[in-house]
Amino acid sequence: MLRIDCPCCGPRDHDEFRYGGDASIIRPAHDDPDFEAWYRYVFVRRNPAGSHREHWQHVLGCRQWLIVERDTRTHSIASVALARKPAPRKSAQ
Amino acid sequence: MNSNSKRLAKGGRIDRGRPLEFSFDGSKLAGFQGDTLASALLANGVSLVGRSFKYHRPRGIFSAGAEEPNALVTLGTGGRREPNLPATMLELGDGMIAESQNRWPSLAFDLQSVNGLFAPFLSAGFYYKTFMGPTRRAWMFYEHFIRRAAGLGKAGMEPDPDRYELRHAFADVAIVGGGPAGLSAARAAANAGARVALIEQDFRFGGQLLSERPGSEANAWLEALGIELRGLGNVDLMARTTAVGIYDGQVLGLVERRDHAQASGRVRQAFTILRAGAIVFAPGAIERPLVFSNNDRPGVMLASAVRTYVNRFAVLPGRRAVVTTTNDGAWRTAFDLAAAGAQVTVADLRATLAPALQAEALRLGIAVRPGTHIADLRGGRALNAARLAGSGAETEVDCDLVCVSGGWSPTVHLTSHLGVKPVYREDIDGFAPGPLAGGQFGAGSVVGGYTTAEAIETGHRAGIEAAAYCGKTKPVPAALQFQSTDLPAAAFRGVPPARGKAFVDFQMDVTTGDIALAHREGYQSVEHLKRYTTLGMGTDQGKTSNFPALSAMAALRGATIPETGTTTFRPPYTPVAIGALAGRAVGHHLKPTRRTPMHDWHIANGADMLEVGLWMRPYFYRGAGRDVNEAYVAEMRFVREAAGLMDISTLGKIDVQGPDAATLFDRVYANGFVKLPVGRARYGVMLRDDGVVLDDGTTTRLGEHRFFMTTSTAKAANVLSRLEFLLDTAWPDLRVAVTSVTDEWAAMSVAGPRSREVLAAAFPTLDVSNEALPHMGLIGGEFDGRALRVIRLSYSGERAYEVYVGASAGEAAWRRLIEAGQPFGLRPYGVEALGALRVEKGHVAGPEIDGRTTLDDLGLGRMVGKRSGFVGDVLRRRPALAEQDRQRLVGLTCVEADARLSGGAVLFKQGETLKGHGCGRITSVTYSPTLGAYVGLALLAGDVAMGDEVVAVHMMKNEAVRARVVSPVFLDPQGERLHG
Amino acid sequence: MRHYSALSILRNGLAGHRHWQRAWRAPEPKRSYDVIIVGGGGHGLATAFYLAENHGIRNVAVLEKGYVGGGNVGRNTTIVRSNYLLDGNTQFYEFSMKLWEGLTHALNFNVMFSQRGQIVTAHSADQLDSFSHRANVMRLNGIDADILSRDDVRHLVPYLDYSETARFPIHGAILQGRAGTARHDAVAWGYARAADGHGVDIIQNCEVTGFLHEGERIVGVETAKGLIAAGKVGLAVAGHTSVLGHKAGLELPIESHVLQAFVTEPLKPMVDQVVAYGADHFYVSQSDKGGLVFGGNLDGYNSYAQRGNLGVVREVAEAAIALMPCISRVRLLRHWGGVMDMTPDASPIICPTPVDGLYLNGGWCYGGFKATPASGWCFAHTIATGRPHPLNAAFSLDRFRTGRTLDEAGVGPFAWLQ
């Protein structure tokens, strides 16, 4: 199990969460008509083997969307923060 | 019955006061409490216990632990039948019924042992080179026989009657292995203040110390430690529990066996998910066999296992023993055998031996042959003699037991599960765990601590460090040591030359010849070696064969052991019953069952229920007809002619509040919502970011800043998460809160020309007049002290109202409506009728919103007009989504009277060859009682015009039906029934 | 290449197996090749074989970072089927099926292709309708398909759960009789041996670390064994396409995810067909060795670790027992993970790329094994001619821009995000 240290609820198994994918791609403004921006947002992924900033939602807990920094090779988690607050918080370990 | 002929008169950790009866292949045998099935079989003189996988060679008990390759048995019958269990791991129980496997007609006389005669042609991978002809499908003919010959035990085909349990557990320090290292670690960590879980697969703690002679200091140490650990109060002593896998986040998967206390209805096995702060790995080591001709004969056993049988179980497996070894450690087996009365010869591959060993051997009357190996063994189902070769002349020694030791391999399985490759250590000539992650510590053999003193010391240190990692740092008393009689286990890697069949993997029948062949053919990577020869792929996963095989391959390649590497260690460490992994989530408990507040009423009133996702919904009511086809048409009639009542509680319901709520809807729905007046509802369609239609539903404005949103049953959870995602990550400036209220509200739809009268009769205090409650209007009220909302919405095309009431009052409101509606002809209707009513009206649902259709495909483009800035707007303009000839929603009717349409039919243009993907498909079909004919909705290529004829081909029904393309709205196209 | 046959086994057996040759050579790389295929998995090896066999291009190297067949071709659940719905997919996978039917002979290597049939259970009338639609499309495209009633299913696979307590009762099923399984390793080895027989150099332990450019064009690769020039370079490294694609300057619509696979202890025959559970994520077949081989859903987050987590292990076990209650006492022997290239529409990519000289084969999601022969055939054609074969024309990179996606399940870009 990935153990995600939810800022609201504490460390929980990842199956309490919903995965939301790459958090480093910025969603264009809702009224941005730029096709290229939307195409890249929806389809293009850097997909790194290494550190990955990603969204997770604590659906079976506080329902907050989080930004988790995780290594895709080892699954080790470097930080977890609320998506609403951009500055990441280093996790306890 | 030759009961316990090989049992020693005294000693052993068995309870002679508690005899147990068991049977093996029908013979009734006896053992004692404290025996394993293997020790009891040996005590009874049973030497032949199984047959090998490929050549069906006779095999005996080889080990005393989880590494057992040979002694696999089947327990139980019927639904309790369980094959492939190593006898060495089975705690003997009274009445245990064990059977040997992979033999026919009997273990002693196995016809398939003729395979051995063909062995020259059954070399590794031979099947890749033959069985190719004469025809293309010839393989399936050969395969039929190969499959029957393969496999080991036979599984039961009935459901398992027993129960399994899932436990969620937490500990500061989890310790894997309850031998001297693990016990010492537990003592240290617990004294430091940590909550400790000590995990041991055996039914006794002590590991190799359990194999020390009775009355040794080891016994006293074990007892003292047991008392201390039990007294500490913060140590969970988990015996009969195997740590089968380690997962991310310091999570261990544990299987606890409770079979020994099996009683009907009790939990057979428990699976524990243990989340630890830190983990100490103290799993010990597994002895390596030696590879020589016919080294697989019954009577050949690991030296340490023989010592276990002699000392722990008071069984003397043989009276004339040859101990062949590459290290000092195995000499203790020779000494203990001699002390127990056996005649012993030691054939040590090393030319120079320690004088102390020789002196002790002399004292015990043991014959010593330095620089000697076993060249071959004689015997079939039992051993007769060993031919010794080496420094002296070749001699033959009569024997009924051969004890082998090629050194030891630390148990690196668990520490490798997270992808950390084990590393070769020259000093122990074996693989040790690779660099461990933070919070993980090794103790005992895995850190090279082979002696008891080292195990205790490294365990002690690991315990302190692991506790400190969890912030537990109370002072710890010094490690508790004792004087053990260990001999060094470090081995010299001797490879005796082999002439006949010398087995590396006993269970899979892989020989040195197979490894040489794999090498010759280029299958030289250890993974190729494994896959080509099937080495290590048995139930033991190569626990004893891994190192001998890779060192043989290294020698053939002229490479070092680290260059050769190992195959990947994967969970589980030992096989796990799938039932244990599933726990209680079986049968009806696979997934939660969601029931609406009116569920009991539906059941009591003849509803045939249907699973819709996790929900149970009324399919149809048996009062309306004998089967669904009869009933749904009758139910449609009630709705079209009088009134019907439908449970719609499964709709997703979301409460949306905040000053920017209208803006949120304006962005997430493709059609506009800002101008929706308070007290009015609107139908809305959502797109995905890629411009394809996601879901539809209605949203009602309850107040300036408050909305009540519904979604389809299927998409409820996803839509809510999506809204939360957008608000949390993309639009944090919008002041809106969204909350799921799906379970808080019961919902029912009253539909039909007389629905208003029903509503007025049921809720006389409400003003439901057309003026007070027009189409798409809302009124609020109270029912039974619970909030009530009535929204005038129609899915069926009739005048209809959705009634929402607090869930606890749902059934009461439903009953009230049923009673009040009776005079007006109101009847309940189910999802089949609901689906049919919407087809008549041309409303799209799941079959049309299939995740590939656009607004224009579904005829919903007009709702959007020239709006922009909503989710999915930019990518819906991608060229292929905007093409004119895309498949669009149309209606279909039959050209010929009495014909019927079938859902799933593929549509072809008139004159088109009936091949390929056609020009569309029928998505939904219903019989329309109003029109007296079948009507259907279809997605059809845009270049087919209204009024054209198409052919609907349903290959499964052998049908080709002529259909006419019409408007998808079959009934009341002006929507007159909705208003007024 | 020496011919394999029963006779060759007899002859070699009598000679103590001393005369077998290497299945494929172990050459040192040449300085230059007409075509370099990066990735010695099933698809890469098949591509090399068909480049030589169909197009006469024999100056070809396959570069493999580890051992051939060590990626997903050697860690999948070995199912072969051609039951696809959408125009483009249907024809491609059926072409692959036809190649499978002749593969053992084409390669002179027994890939043990066994057309045991695949059954997918249906658990509602609606699901059975949608299976009927699929079956109609299959039949109309010349592919065998049958719809089974509950009784038919019960007759074929009596050990499934037909009891009152079944959470999702079985209504029927779709059957493809020609579907089945193959021995996965044999596919990699068979293609390797046959490609080698045509002169293709298969170079193991030769990781590609970068690309050589001449202007905008890729003209070779940097490897663990030095620089190697190439007229054309084809990437067939599914699972790691993004990593290598990034080095070559490609921006790709791919995420890497872990899919787990499972095998039980060897058992006497109990599961004859491939059986898939239509109500949840579980599919099972029995290998010739006797192990039940099964799988479930993705672990559900980006990963390059070839291992999965406990949650999915348990979910798969639950679904397994829900479908076949008798599996409860069968013991799981091993579970492992493979890294999947997941594309937004869950369909693959085989096409020329915007980078001159570079061709891409990837995005196989969890369906790559069955596609191996057709994928190699079409990728070889694409590389040899510079243009897609009609069968892989739909598998372009630009379909996400144009909207011409092939979303069989209709769940939208990257299903787990929807």
Please state the ipTM of this predicted complex.
0.97
Residue of B nearest to A17 (CA): B721
* Higher-pLDDT residue of B118, B750: B750
B129, B723, B926: best to mutate for the C interface, most C CBs within 10 A: B129
Lowest mean pLDDT among B126-135, C168-177, C252-261: B126-135
Say what percent of chain C tops pLDDT 90. 97
- Whether the pLDDT of residue B493 is over 90: the answer is no
B865 burial type by CB count under 10 A (0-12 exposed, 13-18 middle, 19+ buried)? exposed
Q: CB–CB of C289/C317 below 8 Å?
A: no
User: What is the domain range of residue B618?
Assistant: 599-649+744-836
Residue of C nearest to B532 (CA): C185
Q: What's residue B262's pLDDT?
A: 56
Omega cis (within 30) before B86? no
Residues B670 and B734 in one domain: yes
B446 CB-side CA count, 13 A: 28
Residues B380 and B420 in one domain: no
Average pLDDT over residues B658-675: 96
Residues B297 and B264 in one domain: no
What DSSP element (H or E) covers B839?
Answer: helix B831-841
Say what percent of chain B tops pLDDT 70. 99
Chain B interface with A: residues with Cβ < 8 Å: 247-251, 273, 275, 418-419, 437-439, 667, 689-690, 717, 721, 724-725, 728-732, 868-871, 874-875, 877
The identity of residue C167, as a single letter, is R
Residues B62 and B76 in one domain: yes
Q: CB–CB of B404/B289 below 8 Å?
A: yes
In a domain, B134, yes or no: no
Sequence-ordered list of residues with C-beta below 8 angstroms from that of B844, at least 6 positions apart, any chain = B696, B858, B859, B860, B889, B937
Residues B919 and B935 in one domain: yes
CA B926 to chain CA centroid, nearest Å: 41
CATH superfamily of C118-180+256-342: D-Amino Acid Oxidase, subunit A, domain 2 (3.30.9.10)
Residues B300 and B320 in one domain: yes
Q: What share of chain A is helix, strand, coil (3-state, %, to 5)?
A: 15, 40, 50
Tokens of B67: 């590494």
Residues B443 and B382 in one domain: no
Q: For chain B, what is the largest distance between any 2 Cα atoms, rounded to a whole number of angstroms? A: 116
Sequence-ordered list of residues with C-beta below 8 angstroms from that of C348, at least 6 positions apart, any chain = C361, C362, C363, C364, C365, C367, C368, C371, C375, C395
- Whether the pLDDT of residue C91 is over 50: the answer is yes
Domain assignments of chain C as residue spans, ordered by start: 6-15+22-82+84-109+184-252+345-417, 118-180+256-342
Q: Name the pTM for this structure.
A: 0.96
DSSP states of B495-553 as a string? Answer: ----SS-BEEETTTTEEHHHHHHHHHTT--SHHHHHHHH-TT-STTTTTTTHHHHHHHH
Question: Could you give the strand order of the β-sheet that contains A51-57, starting from the edge strand earlier in sequence?
Answer: A18-22, A51-57, A65-71, A77-82
Using CA atoms, how far apart are residues B196 and B187, in angstroms rounded to an integer?
9
First to last CA, chain A: 16
In a domain, B774, yes or no: yes
Using CA atoms, how far apart are residues C84 and A70, in angstroms rounded to an integer?
36
| Range list of H helices, B280-343 | 303-311, 331-339
Q: CB–CB of C249/C217 below 8 Å?
A: no
Tell me the nearest-neighbour CA distance from B869 into chain A, angstroms. 4
In a domain, B295, yes or no: yes
Q: B325-360 pLDDT, tens per residue?
A: 999 999 999 999 999 999 999 999 999 999 999 999
- Whether the pLDDT of residue B963 is over 70: the answer is yes
Q: Is C90 helix (H, G, I), strand (E, B) or coil?
A: helix
Tokens of C237: 């490294």
Q: B121-137 pLDDT, tens per residue?
A: 899 999 999 999 888 88
- Whether the pLDDT of residue B263 is over 70: the answer is no
Q: CB–CB of C72/C339 below 8 Å?
A: yes
Partner B, chain C 199-228, Cβ-Cβ below 8 Å:
204
Q: What's residue A87's pLDDT?
A: 43
User: If phi over 0 gives left and psi between -120 and 50 gives alpha, with beta otherwise, what is residue C214?
Assistant: beta
Residues B930 and B970 in one domain: yes
Chains sharing 3 or more CB pairs under 8 A with chain C: A, B
**How confident is the prediction for chain B on average, in pLDDT?**
95
Residues of C in contact with A39 (CB under 8 A): 400-401
Residues B253 and B106 in one domain: no
Residues B495 and B465 in one domain: no
Residue B381 binned pLDDT confidence (cut-offs 50, 70, 90): confident
- From B813, B836, B859, give the residue that closes a domain: B836
Say what percent of chain A tops pLDDT 90. 88
Q: Quick one: CA dihedral B477, B478, B484, B488, positive or negative?
A: positive
Residues B622 and B705 in one domain: no
First to last CA, chain B: 94
Average pLDDT over residues B876-898: 95
Residues of C in contact with A2 (CB under 8 A): 301, 309
Domains C6-15+22-82+84-109+184-252+345-417 and C118-180+256-342 share a fold: no
Q: What's residue A92's pLDDT?
A: 43
Asked whether the beta carbons of residue B870 and residue A93 sit closer than 8 angstroms, the reply is no
- From B716, B740, B764, give the residue that closes a domain: B740
CB–CB contacts below 8 A, A to B: 77
Using CA atoms, how far apart are residues B451 and B457, in angstroms rounded to an integer?
10
> What are the structural domains, with CATH classification, of chain A?
1-27+51-93 (3.30.2270.10)
Beta bridge partners of B170: B275
Q: What's residue B260's pLDDT?
A: 61
Using CA atoms, how far apart are residues B825 and B456, in angstroms rounded to an integer?
84
Q: What's residue B452's pLDDT?
A: 95
- From B695, B725, B740, give the residue that closes a domain: B740
Using CA atoms, how far apart are residues C50 and C361, in angstroms rounded to an integer?
14
Using CA atoms, how far apart are residues C365 and C3, in angstroms rounded to an integer?
35
Using CA atoms, how far apart are residues B563 and B579, in angstroms rounded to an integer?
40
Partner C, chain B 58-117, Cβ-Cβ below 8 Å:
79-84
- Whether the pLDDT of residue A81 is over 80: the answer is yes
- Whether the pLDDT of residue B166 is over 90: the answer is yes
Using CA atoms, how far apart are residues A77 and A51, in angstroms rounded to an integer?
9
CB–CB contacts below 8 A, A to C: 70
In a domain, B849, yes or no: no
- Whether the pLDDT of residue A93 is over 50: the answer is no
Residue C418 binned pLDDT confidence (cut-offs 50, 70, 90): confident
Beta bridge partners of C336: C261
In a domain, B29, yes or no: yes
What is the CATH T-level fold of the domain C6-15+22-82+84-109+184-252+345-417, as seen in this structure?
FAD/NAD(P)-binding domain (3.50.50)
How many Å is the Cα radius of gyration of chain A?
Answer: 14
Phi, psi of B133 (to 5 degrees): -135, -175
If one counts every other C-beta atom within 10 angstroms of the C-beta of residue B257, the result is 21
Beta bridge partners of C298: C259
- Whether the pLDDT of residue B582 is over 50: the answer is yes
Chains sharing 3 or more CB pairs under 8 A with chain A: B, C
B158, B374, B638 from B579: Cα distances, Å: 13, 44, 49
- Total number of domains in chain B: 6
Cβ-nearest to B275 among A3, A33, A63 = A3
Q: Are strands B652-657 and B737-740 parallel, antiparallel or unpaired?
A: antiparallel
Using CA atoms, how far apart are residues B12 and B42, in angstroms rounded to an integer?
14
Q: Which residue has the tokens 């055996």?
A: B202
Q: What's residue B16's pLDDT?
A: 96
Q: What's residue B52's pLDDT?
A: 92
- Among the listed residues B454, B482, B447, B472, the one whose alpha carbon sits nearest the alpha carbon of residue B189: B472
Beta bridge partners of B940: B888, B920
- Whether the pLDDT of residue C247 is over 70: the answer is yes
Q: Which residue has the tokens 């000590």?
A: B198
Three-state DSSP string of C245-298: HHHCCCCECCEEEEEEEEEECCECCCCCCEEECCCCCCEEEECCCCCEEEEEEE
Q: CB–CB of B428/B286 below 8 Å?
A: no
Cβ-nearest to A19 among C243, C246, C300 = C300
Q: CB–CB of B409/B302 below 8 Å?
A: no
Residues B221 and B357 in one domain: no
Where residue B721 sits, what CATH number does that domain have? Answer: 3.30.70.1400
- Whether the pLDDT of residue B413 is over 50: the answer is yes
- Whether the pLDDT of residue B697 is over 70: the answer is yes
Sequence-ordered list of residues with C-beta below 8 angstroms from that of C164, at least 6 positions apart, any chain = none
Chains sharing 3 or more CB pairs under 8 A with chain B: A, C
